Amino acid sequence: MATAEQPLKKRKLHEPLPEPPPPQTFHQSFVAPTPSQDEIIRRRKNREEIRTMYDCYKRIKFCVSRKDARLMADLEQAYLSLITASRGF
């Protein structure tokens, strides 16, 4: 018996993609301005507010996950704290 030879697979010819232009380098070094004292205080306050809201969220999540009636007071306290924190200090 003669074995039938498989025909060669046709290959797609791809045109080479044009090379992207080299990135331009800037010879000037960028120096970030130092934040003012007011901006540092504002950032610190914002960070504290975010931390407070996240702590309230974690307490609420804990209370809900336990589904324990004894934690209802803590849940309510955390919920009210979250509302207060969302309005700002």
Is 18 a domain residue? no
Is 21 a domain residue? no
Other residues' Cβ atoms within 10 Å of the Cβ of residue 77:
14
Is 50 a domain residue? yes
What confidence category does residue 29 fall into, taking pLDDT thresholds of 50, 70 and 90?
A: low
> Which structural domain, as residue segments, surrounds residue 62?
37-87
Q: How far apart are CA 29 and CA 65, in angstroms?
A: 52
Place of tokens 């301005």: 33
Mean pLDDT of 44-62: 87
Which ranges of the chain does DSSP label H, i.e. alpha helix?
Answer: 37-66, 72-87
What confidence category does residue 44 fall into, taking pLDDT thresholds of 50, 70 and 90?
A: very high
Other residues' Cβ atoms within 10 Å of the Cβ of residue 63:
20
What confidence category does residue 19 fall into, taking pLDDT thresholds of 50, 70 and 90?
A: confident
| pTM of the shown model | 0.51
Is 73 a domain residue? yes
Written as six digits, the tokens of 67 are: 């589904």
pLDDT of residue 83: 83
Is 30 a domain residue? no
**Domain count for the chain:** 1
